[in-house]
Amino acid sequence: MWNYVPDKTIGVAISQLEGSSVPHGLTLQLGDLVEITQICEDWYLGVNLRTPGLKGIFPCSYVQVRPTSDQERCWHYDDPVVEEATNVLREWGVIWNRSFVFLGDSPALEMHQSKNRRQREQCTMLRSAILDLMDWRLQLMTGTFTLDHLRDLRMRITSHIDSGNSQRK
């Protein structure tokens, strides 16, 4: 049974969801803001603020909930470093997915093994970079640290993005 959430509740997508994969599903991309209106067991009903005309359901585990009042502004969502990290995570996720799928389809011939090993190592390094960036982005979004720590975290994120992008060129 669906129940209304008590207050205006905003969530941030921490996983991607293809809306067509579940009946009445709402498509989510990493970093999307959703307004949650109802809850039923492990599912939310809400609106993706990127496409406010569409309402749908999504697993509770796919969002980090941030309750807010109507007057409160979620300043950390306007943080350009959070936005840049979100965009980079989307881009790197596509690259990692393509690499992962490519590796799975590669012939296991002996002459290709060293190339496949190098590709596997690059895929593993990219996965690690993605997980680090996701963790730091989430820390930045919580906003519960000192200003010095947040400044250092922003610098670490931008340096990580620059380093990761230069390795992929």
Q: Based on the domain organization, do 83 and 151 belong to the same domain?
A: yes
Q: Based on the domain organization, do 114 and 149 belong to the same domain?
A: yes
Q: Based on the domain organization, do 48 and 79 belong to the same domain?
A: no
Q: What are the backbone dihedrals phi and psi of residue 8, each rounded to the nearest 5 degrees, phi first?
A: -60, 125
> Quick check: 19 and 56 in contact, CB under 8 A?
yes
pTM: 0.56
Q: How confident is the model at residue 49 (pLDDT cuts 50, 70, 90)?
A: confident
What would the two tokens of residue 57 be? 């359901």
Q: How confident is the model at residue 166 (pLDDT cuts 50, 70, 90)?
A: confident
Would you give the DSSP letter of residue 51? S
pLDDT digit string, tens, across residues 141-165: 776 778 888 899 999 999 999 998 8
Q: Based on the domain organization, do 105 and 51 belong to the same domain?
A: no
Q: Based on the domain organization, do 130 and 148 belong to the same domain?
A: yes
What would the two tokens of residue 139 be? 């820390």
- Residue range(s) defining the domain that contains residue 38: 3-67
* Whole-Å CA distances, 49 to 18, 43, 142: 16, 18, 19
Amino acid sitting at position 13: A
Q: Based on the domain organization, do 111 and 161 belong to the same domain?
A: yes
Cα of first residue to Cα of last residue in the chain, in angstroms, is 51
pLDDT digit string, tens, across residues 114-142: 567 777 888 888 889 998 998 888 888 77
Write the DSSP string, 101-125.
HHHHHS---GGGHHHHHHHHHHHHH
Q: Based on the domain organization, do 80 and 63 belong to the same domain?
A: no
Residue bearing tokens 């492990």: 42
**Structural domain total, the chain:** 2
Tell me the C-alpha distance between 29 and 163, whole Å: 24
The CATH number given to whatever domain includes residue 103 is 1.20.1270.350
Last residue of a domain, one of 33, 67, 101: 67
The CATH number given to whatever domain includes residue 47 is 2.30.30.40
Q: Based on the domain organization, do 34 and 88 belong to the same domain?
A: no
